[in-house]
Chain A
Amino acid sequence: MEALILELKKEIIEVLNLEELTPEDINEDAPLFVEGLGLDSIDALELIVLMEKNYGIKLNNAAEGRDIFKSVRIMAEYIAKNRTK
Chain B
Amino acid sequence: MNINIASYCRLTNHKLEVNDIDIQIQKTEASSLNDIYRHLNLSYPKFFKMDNLSKAGFLASELLLKNIIIDKETPKKDMAIVLMNRSASLDNDRTYQTTIQYENNFFPSPSVFVYTLSNIVNGEIAIRNKIMGESSFYISENFSPEKIYSAVMNTFSDPNINQVICGWVDYEFNECDVLLLLIRKENQEKIPFNVNNIYHLYT
Contact = CB atoms under 8 A, between A and B. Distances in A.
Contacts, number: 29
B111 interface: yes
Contact of B34 (A19, A43, A45): A19
A20 B45 CA distance: 7
Contact of A42 (B34, B45, B108, B111): B111
Contacts of B111: 15-17, 42-43, 45-46
B110 A42 contact: yes
B199 interface: no
Given A17-B49, A42-B114, A53 B107 contact: yes
A20 B38 CA distance: 10
B174 interface: no
A17 B48 contact: yes
B contact face: mostly helix, strand, loop, or mixed: helix
A53 B109 CA distance: 11
Contact of A46 (B34, B45, B48, B109): B109
B187 to A, nearest CB: 42
A13 B133 CA distance: 35
Interface string A14-26: 0111111000000
A42 B45 CA distance: 15
B107 to A, nearest CB: 5
A12 to B, nearest CB: 13
A contact face: mostly helix, strand, loop, or mixed: helix
Contacts of A53: 107
A49 interface: yes
Contacts of B48: 17-20
Contacts of A17: 48-49, 111
A45 B107 CA distance: 12
Interface in A55-82: none
A20 B111 CA distance: 18
B114 A49 contact: no
A29 interface: no
A25 to B, nearest CB: 11
Interface in B65-118: 107-111, 114
B45 A18 contact: yes
A7 interface: no
Interface string A25-45: 000000000000000001101
26 contacts: A15-B111, A16-B49, A16-B111, A17-B48, A17-B49, A18-B45, A18-B48, A19-B34, A19-B45, A20-B45, A20-B48, A42-B49, A42-B110, A42-B114, A43-B111, A45-B110, A45-B111, A46-B109, A46-B110, A46-B111, A49-B107, A49-B108, A49-B109, A49-B110, A52-B107, A53-B107
Interface of A: 15-20, 42-43, 45-46, 49, 52-53
